[in-house]
Amino acid sequence: DHMAGEVQRQQAEILASRENLARLNQTLEAAVEARTRALAESEAKYRVLVESAPQGIAILQAGRIVFTNPALERMTGRGAGELKTAEFDVGSLFSSESRTAVRTALLGTDAGGSQVPVEIQHAGGRSVHAELQVAPLLFQNEPASMILLSDVSTLRDLQDRLVRGEKLRALG
């Protein structure tokens, strides 16, 4: 009789444990679902931000471009497929005068580094004046560098016109 009572008590404990486990599992599933939804929303916001950014963005790993945004493709006149090939030389995006500054910026350890004036060689032959900024980051759990390029061609043209206008005014 004592044995039967003990068995019933243990069965009741097992049942209570299973019910408790089922409740905890539901709570955990709800939390995972909420976090998954929040992550998906965050990724969608990030994607919209990066894809619509006016700055050209590239991510380099081991000397290769592994990510680009549409602004970079417009600035360079090259598609993502060409830019991300293993054979593509990142230095070829820049004028020969800018390549040393680009290499120095890429080797730098200045997190969020300073802006470096560079000249992009557009695939169509024209030059694009830009400011380059390099920041270290982890991309897909591997060390990488993010390159940000801001097109300053219009600003540069306006500055040149202003200087010419001031020179003409000074002459007479």
- Condensed to tens digits (0 to 9), the pLDDT of residues 112-144 reads 568 899 999 999 999 999 999 999 999 999 999
pTM, two decimal places: 0.73
- Condensed to tens digits (0 to 9), the pLDDT of residues 9-65 reads 999 999 999 999 999 999 999 999 999 999 999 989 988 989 999 999 999 999 899
For 134, phi and psi rounded to 5 degrees?
-120, 135
* pLDDT at residue number 85: 95
* Average pLDDT over every residue of 65-94: 95
CB count in 10 Å sphere of residue 141: 6
Residue 132 tokens, joined: 């380059």
CB count in 10 Å sphere of residue 98: 22
Confidence of residue 159 (pLDDT cuts 50, 70, 90): confident
Contacts of 120 (CB under 8 A, 6+ apart): 75, 76, 93, 94, 95, 98, 127, 128, 129, 130, 149
Q: What 3 state SS string does 94-144 have?
A: ECCCCHHHHHHHHHCCCCCCCCEEEEEECCCCCEEEEEEEEEEEEECCEEE
Residue 161 tokens, joined: 């016109």
Tokens 């592994």 sit on residue = 66
Confidence of residue 2 (pLDDT cuts 50, 70, 90): confident
